[in-house]
Structure 1
Amino acid sequence: MSITNTASAQWKGSLKQGKGVVSTNSDALSDVPYDFKQRFEGQAGTNPEELIGAAHASCYSMALSMILGESDLEADSIDTSAEVTLDEVDGGFAVTKVHLTTRASIPGADESVFQEAAEKAKAGCPISKLLNAEISLDAKLA
């Protein structure tokens, strides 16, 4: 089975003075603005790393729920945040790490079962795998 979702981004102008918008096929994001100051200077607004964090936190939570279900456990709640670090590396920038923090309420779960499930979810969620995925490109000049 293969499921395809899409997102798009448009950018106009130079790196520092330009502006962009990002959208998703579900309209969860629709022409949401982003720019240099939001990404590199901490100004309020979205940026690519924040979006990766949201994707990773939500994917991880779902994966953890699935793995817990394999042990006949069901969470009352799984609350996950992702801290995505963008560092200057070799004259450019790179996402160097993602730190997931999760807090869960799971009736009947003991600590060892929870920790094992948490580690399996970290390794197995599709967004964790994405961070090492093959990336293809189709580029054309209009």
Structure 2
Amino acid sequence: MKRNATAVWQGDIKSGAGHLTTQSTTLNQTQYSFNSRFADGVGTNPEELLAAAHAGCFTMKLDLDLTQAGYKVDTLETKSVITLDNGKITLSELTLQAKVPGISEEEFQRIAKGAEETCPVSGAFSFEITLNATLVTE
């Protein structure tokens, strides 16, 4: 499987701007700029897109692993925070809230950690990844 995206940029780094389009067109000439990356400007940025990719991939991998272990997932909600420090991405912090009936805390933590370590996006990252997984019981 191959997927693609295209970036177009015009102008200098501070006053220029660009747009991103993904193969699926979910992003379709989506704006990005210096301000959307380093300030509060409108548009997306590479770190936000990495965070979305990591949260989405990990969540799907965890659902697969839980299903294969015999559990039926109610809800998985994952947030990824990507840290850019001195021009280098240094960390992805995954925070998970999960509702999975019938699973023990220990089994849940074991499966969640395994999914974090084996999701394809985690494997593509060379920086630190942390996981804070919470099993919600009602």
Q: Same fold, TM exceeding 0.5?
A: yes
Question: 1:115 is aligned with what amino acid?
Answer: Q
For 2:36, the equivalent position in structure 1 comes to 38
Q: How does 1:50-61 map to 2 (within 5 A)?
A: 50-61=48-59
Deviations 1:49-100 (A, max 9, x none): 0000001000000010111112101211100010000111xxxx01110000
Q: How does 1:69-80 map to 2 (within 5 A)?
A: 69-80=67-78
Q: Percent identity?
A: 38
Q: How does 1:55-134 map to 2 (within 5 A)?
A: 55-88=53-86, 93-132=87-126
For 2:133, the equivalent position in structure 1 comes to none
Deviations 1:89-125 (A, max 9, x none): xxxx011100000111001111011000110011100
For 1:47, the equivalent position in structure 2 comes to 45
C-alpha distance 52-80 of structure 1, shift in aligned 2 (>3 A): same
Distance 1:123 1:44 in 2: 33
Question: 1:26 is aligned with what amino acid?
Answer: S
Question: 1:23 is aligned with what amino acid?
Answer: T
RMSD: 0.9
TM-superposed deviation, 1:41 = 1.6
Runs of 4+ more than 2 Å apart: 42-45
Asked if the contact 2:7/2:20 (under 8 Å) is kept, the reply is yes
For 1:9, the equivalent position in structure 2 comes to 7
Structure 2 unaligned runs (5+)? 127-138
Structure 1 unaligned runs (5+)? 133-142
Q: Secondary structure at the match of 1:127?
A: helix
Give aligned pairs, total. Answer: 126
- Which of 24, 27, 37 lines up with 1:26 in the alignment? 24
